[in-house]
Every structure is written in structure tokens, then in C-alpha cells.
Structure 1
Amino acid sequence: MQTLLKYGVLLVVCLITHLINAQDTIQNTNNQYKIEAYKQAKLDVKTEERQFLKAEVQAINTRLEQGEITEEQANQLKKEASKKRALNIENRIAIIDNKIALLERNEKDYLHKDITDVSNIEIEVSNDDDEFLWIKIKDKKKPKKYDKRTQSDLVFAMGFNNALIEGEKLDDTPYKIGGSGFIELGFAWKTRLLEHSNFFRFKYGASIQWNKLNIRDNMYFVNTDGAINLEEFPYPVRVSKFRVTNFVFPLHLEIGPSKRIDKDTYFRYSTKKQFKFGVGGYAGFNIGTLQKVKYQNENGKKVKDKARSGFNTSELIYGVSSYIALGTTALYVKYDLNPIFRNQAISQNNISVGLRFDMD
């Protein structure tokens, strides 16, 4: 029994020794791969920095052709750019050499170390007065486009919603002012119209609009042979709401000053903290209708009824809209030129007022 135990212990020791040796072999192999990759990175550094220098020289030549700088200034800027790129090459190669030396010196101790090559990574930090602090990490192998005339934004809007009824004042509306609301969520592009100014631009995109009407006085919509009218519900109503969901394509002419930001290889226009005014409209189609009525029946039981069709709503949606903004926040108004319900004796048109946020 003791003999078997000795052989068992000896076998375990041999297995552990084998695993340690195998681990060392993997470590040596992995480190060698990293070392070869870093050596290749040293060659890539020169190519990348030369690409950036070429882009900077092209940007300087463009400014010279447009009369923004003199030939003497252009030559001076080219010399400075060339000197900066030469120093960049020297510094980046020194960093890679240090990483190679670290791997060669610690082949057995760095198996689980994650040594990341950051030679192609650029970290950009923004802390504008009216913006949140954010950090953006991006690949910098390719220089940015010198002049980018189109930018993209996320759009979010919300506020009050109601209807203008033919022959009636807004004060007489059968819909609650406070309970009726709208939400809009979309994506927009903004394109500069002039070559050397960003004062005029087109803003266009796609949005989903939810327009809700909260109905007063125990009423709800009823379709009677195609005529949509409000009638009293037979039971006490807790909630009576009518919602239309539209998918639309807005287009606005946006007007306002911008700040030009010049970098080494590109420039951009920014409208942050700037006043801007937009006027235009939208067109699209209805993608959903819902009437929801919550009430208490004769047995005292709470009931919720939903109806999604049969309201003869307009299928094609079109209207006008406008906004006045400071920075990314705007006062926003939109009005549907199409009636909510088709072929009615009295037309009702949706109108919304609220805040719009463009995350540009």
C-alpha cells in the first residue's frame, strides 16, 4: 500500500512538472508573438505618421488656395507639422521598444498580463460648459475628412398635445390640456448649404410621433357609419385616451450662427451654445391607432377596453413645424395639416407644443 502511495505521489509531481513546463512554453510562445507584433508596429508607426503629415499638408494647401493664409504662413505650418510628426515617430517607437524589453525581461512572469498596444488609439476628452464629461476612444489610423458638411443627430421631443376643431376655440376642446401629450423620437442629418459658411443648413431625417388625446367628461369615440363622434360612455370612466402613432420624415431649413473649430488636418462647425431657428414640415403615414377606456362596470369590477381599428383616421400624415433653440434645447411646435379623422363634417387637426432636444 505504501509503495502504491509513493508511486501515486511521484505521478502527481511529474504531471505538475509537465504542466509548469508546458505553461512556460506557452508563455514563451505568446510573448514571442507579441514581440513580433510590436516589431511590425514599429514599421506601421512611420507609415501612419506620414499619412497624417500628408493630410496636414493637404489641409494647409487648401487653406492657402482659399486665401485663409499666406504662402509664408503655409511654409511655416508645413515645417511645424513635419517636426511634430518626426517627434511623434521617435516617441512612439521608444514606447514600443520599452514594451519589447519588458516582454523579453519577464518571459515567465507575464503570462496573464494584458499588455495592450495603444499605438493606434486616440483618447479624446470633452468637458464643455453645457455638456456632460465624456471620453471617446477611437482608431486613429485614418485621418479625418478635412471638411465634413453633413452631421447626424438624435432627436427627442415631448410636450402638450391637443386638437384644433373647426368652428371651436381651443379653450372649448373636449380634450384635457394637461393630460394630452406627445412624444417624438428620431434620427436626423444636418447638411451645410454654403461652401464657406454654416449659417444655412438643411435638417432632415425620420421620426416616430406618438400623439395622445385625453378625453374629458366620461366621453369616448364611436364610429357610426363612418362618422366619428364623441359619445358618453355607459359606465363611469376612470381613463379615456386616444392615441395616434405616425412615422414621418421631417425637413427643416435651420438658420443660425456657428463656431468654426480648426484642427491640424480638418475643421468643423459647431452650433453648441448658439441660437438657431428652424422652419419646415414633415410627411409620412399612420402606423397605429389605439383607444383605451378604463371604467368600472355595474358589478363594481375594474375593466380596461382597447380598440385599435375602426376610427377612420388619416393614413397619410403631413404638417408644418418649427423650433427656436439655444444649443441643444428648443421650443418646438408642430401642426398636422391632415385631419385626424377622414371624411368628417367637422375637421379636427392635431397640434403639439413642447421641448425638443437635438443631441448633436
Structure 2
Amino acid sequence: MSKIYAQNFSVKAELIASNIENIVNEEKQALKKAVEAVNVELDKGNINKTQADEQKLKLAETSAAAIEKRVAAEEAKLTELVKQKVDGKISEKSVSPGEVLISIIKNNPPKRNDTIERSEKRTTSQFIYAFGVNNLMTKERLAHSDFRYMGSHFFEWGMTYNTRILKDNNLLHLTYGFSVMYNSLRATDNRYFVENGNKTGLQEAGIHLKDTRFKNVNLVVPMYLEFDFSGNQIKDDKPFFKTHKSARFGLGGFAGVNLKTKQTLKFDDEFGNSVVQKTKGDFNVNDFVYGVGAYVGYKETSLYIKYDLNPLFRNNTADQNNISLGLRFDLN
């Protein structure tokens, strides 16, 4: 890159953003190839369905960790860039649009016919990431919750396939794949979850708790009917389809299994030492989970809500169902 680009804040920031997008795309494609290789082994009968699902989960976890590590490095560059701008070490010397285009092409050369080839495919894939607030609906009511509204969170990541339903119309799509959901709850009033036989409830701690977190990890298969208003185009007398370029919304649901339940308590012991106590167990949590969800947004970003139709705990007198609200990103 020439000196003029190195001294321009907006160009360098744009290049960092482009690098982050390329990282996600590279890791997504690598994950897709690895998953396809597992499917080949499954079709050959070398492994069974359970083994295939376990391998896919490990591959997805490895991919997510790689994305997090590589993106963190780019975010560190951006933080340093902003610091230099504040300190006045980077000038605002203007450059022409042509120079910016040359800079981007030099750092990120386009793949030949990539856009056209993708537009002609009936099925494409996306890496999804979602996060937001989480809570429990008790007797179908959310008011006066036993859990912190802003302190309880959810995270979700996974891979989906997006299939255009109609051959010559771009409106209706079916999305499906797999996701790992992390639903966390932080109880109010210095309480934590305790198993009492086949029931699980909140109990006040005998000591001051600095923090509590009750986390469930679920592996689910989501399926949504998506309405995409990106529209159709004609190019070289052929229909040209794009996705995630305009407003869209999806309605559907998910079903899966609980992978892990863990409770974390943080407190100071009688000697003033900071203690972190982690307990993995059953906690009478349902082994299976299923629910409904919806999202509405523009391009790759959506407002996202999901609700578990089955209660969190198997045998409690009052049903408590998980509900989450946040942002969702579908990255092509």
C-alpha cells in the first residue's frame, strides 16, 4: 500500500472492516468444506449419525474460536488506529474514489465471477451470530421476574443454508441448519438455583454472592420461512438473484437437545479470598428443547426473538419458559 493510504484514517478503517469480512467468509467456507467431508464419511457408512453430529459440533466450535481470535487482532488494529487519530498522528488528507478503489483491490482482489455464480445458486449458506437479553416467562408472564432483565443474556452461533423456494421468484426462502444456543440467567435478591429432589428452585444464599449465572447450552436445528425483498434482476438475459440486500423477515422455530447445564457462583470466603464455584449437573433441566422464533431486519442485520415452547425444568409446579430478544447477523 502506498504512503497516502497509510496516512488516511477513513481508508485504513475501511480496509480493516474489509479484512474482518474476509476472515468471516474464509472461516465459513472452511467450515462448510469440513462439514461436507463429514457428510461424505456418513454417506459411506464410515461413521454413524451421532458421530457425525459430534464431529460437526467440534468443527463449528473450532471455527468460532478461529473467527474470534482473528477478528480480535483486527479490532486491536482498529483501536490503535482510533487512538492515533485522537492523538493527531493520522491526517485527514483526502484521496479520490479511484485511489480508494485501487487500495481495496490491491488488498482484497475480487474472485472472478464469484457474485454471478452465487446469484445463480438456488441454495447458499450463511454464518449466523446472535446476542441479546434472556429471561424466563413464569406462568406466561415476564413481569416481576426473578432474574435480572439486563444482566441475563443469550448468545447463538451456527451455520444455515438458504434455499430459494420458487425457481423464478426471489421472495420465499427456506433456511435451515444448526445452531449452538447459550442461555444465561442471573437471579435477583442474592439467590441461586438448588435441586430439591426432582424439582429445581431459587434459594437465598447464606453469604453475599458477588455474581451468579445459570447457563444452558443447547444444540438445535432451526428452520424458518424467510421473506426476502431483495428482488430479481435480469443480467445477460438470465435471472439474477440476490439475498440479504434489502428488507426481510423470517418465521419458524427450532428443536434440539441440551448439551450442558452449569451454575457459576462468585463470592468471598471467610478469609477474604475471591472464590469462583462452578457446578455442572442435571438441575432437572429438560433434555430436549423446542420453540418458535422470528426475525425482521435489513440486509444482514435483524431484530430477533425466540421462545421455548417447553419449560426449562421437567417437574416444577409452575412452568418457566425461556425467552430471548436481541440482534441477529446472517453473514453471507
TM-score computed with the length of structure 2 as normaliser: 0.64
Match of 1:165 among 114, 123, 138: 138
Give the letter for the 1:187 counterpart: M
Q: What is the aligned partner in structure 2 of residue 284 from structure 1?
A: 256
Alpha-carbon distance, 1:198 to partner: 1.0
Give the letter for the 1:160 counterpart: V
> 1:176, 1:314 → 2: CA distance?
22
Q: Residues 307 and 323 of structure 2 are in contact (CA less than 8 Å); yes or no, is this contact kept in structure 1? A: yes
Alpha-carbon distance, 1:170 to partner: 1.7
Q: Return closer, same or farther for 1:254/1:145 CA change in 2, 3 Å cut-off.
A: closer
> 1:173, 1:156 → 2: CA distance?
27
Query: Which segments of 5 or more consecutive residues in structure 1 lack a partner in the other structure?
Result: 1-126, 128-132
1:346-357 matches, within 5 Å, as 346-357=318-329
Alpha-carbon distance, 1:264 to partner: 4.6
> 1:144, 1:248 → 2: CA distance?
30
> 2:269, 2:225 → 1: CA distance?
52
Q: Residues 230 and 245 of structure 2 are in contact (CA less than 8 Å); yes or no, is this contact kept in structure 1? A: no
1:311-350 matches, within 5 Å, as 311-350=283-322
Alpha-carbon distance, 1:299 to partner: 2.7
Give the letter for the 2:318 counterpart: I
Please tell me whether residue 216 in structure 1 is matched to residue 188 in structure 2: yes
Alpha-carbon distance, 1:265 to partner: 9.0
Alpha-carbon distance, 1:344 to partner: 1.2
Alpha-carbon distance, 1:333 to partner: 0.3
Q: What is the aligned partner in structure 2 of residue 190 from structure 1?
A: 162
Q: Residues 169 and 232 of structure 2 are in contact (CA less than 8 Å); yes or no, is this contact kept in structure 1? A: no
Give the letter for the 2:145 counterpart: T
Q: What is the aligned partner in structure 1 of residue 127 from structure 2?
A: 154
Q: Deviation string for 1:46-87 (max 9, x for gaps)?
A: xxxxxxxxxxxxxxxxxxxxxxxxxxxxxxxxxxxxxxxxxx
Q: How many residues align?
A: 228
Please tell me whether residue 359 in structure 1 is matched to residue 328 in structure 2: no
Describe the SS at the equivalent of 1:215. Answer: coil
Q: What is the aligned partner in structure 2 of residue 26 from structure 1?
A: none
Alpha-carbon distance, 1:172 to partner: 1.0
Q: Deviation string for 1:227-246 (max 9, x for gaps)?
A: 10100111110001100000
Q: Residues 223 and 310 of structure 1 are in contact (CA less than 8 Å); yes or no, is this contact kept in structure 2? A: no
> 1:267, 1:173 → 2: CA distance?
51
> 1:285, 1:189 → 2: CA distance?
20
> 1:274, 1:285 → 2: CA distance?
34
Question: What RMSD over aligned residues (CA atoms) do the two structures have, in Å?
Answer: 2.5
Q: Deviation string for 1:299-349 (max 9, x for gaps)?
A: 322211111103011111100000011111101000011111111111111
> 1:357, 1:217 → 2: CA distance?
34
Please tell me whether residue 240 in structure 1 is matched to residue 212 in structure 2: yes
> 1:145, 1:220 → 2: CA distance?
50
Describe the SS at the equivalent of 2:120. Answer: coil
Q: Return closer, same or farther for 1:204/1:145 CA change in 2, 3 Å cut-off.
A: closer
Please tell me whether residue 259 in structure 1 is matched to residue 231 in structure 2: yes
Q: Return closer, same or farther for 1:288/1:136 CA change in 2, 3 Å cut-off.
A: farther
Give the letter for the 2:223 counterpart: L
1:71-220 matches, within 5 Å, as 135-138=108-111, 144=117, 147-166=120-139, 169-220=141-192
Give the letter for the 1:151 counterpart: T
Query: Which segments of 5 or more consecutive residues in structure 2 lack a partner in the other structure?
Result: 1-100
Q: Return closer, same or farther for 1:150/1:286 CA change in 2, 3 Å cut-off.
A: same
Alpha-carbon distance, 1:297 to partner: 2.2
Alpha-carbon distance, 1:260 to partner: 2.9
Q: Residues 146 and 266 of structure 1 are in contact (CA less than 8 Å); yes or no, is this contact kept in structure 2? A: no
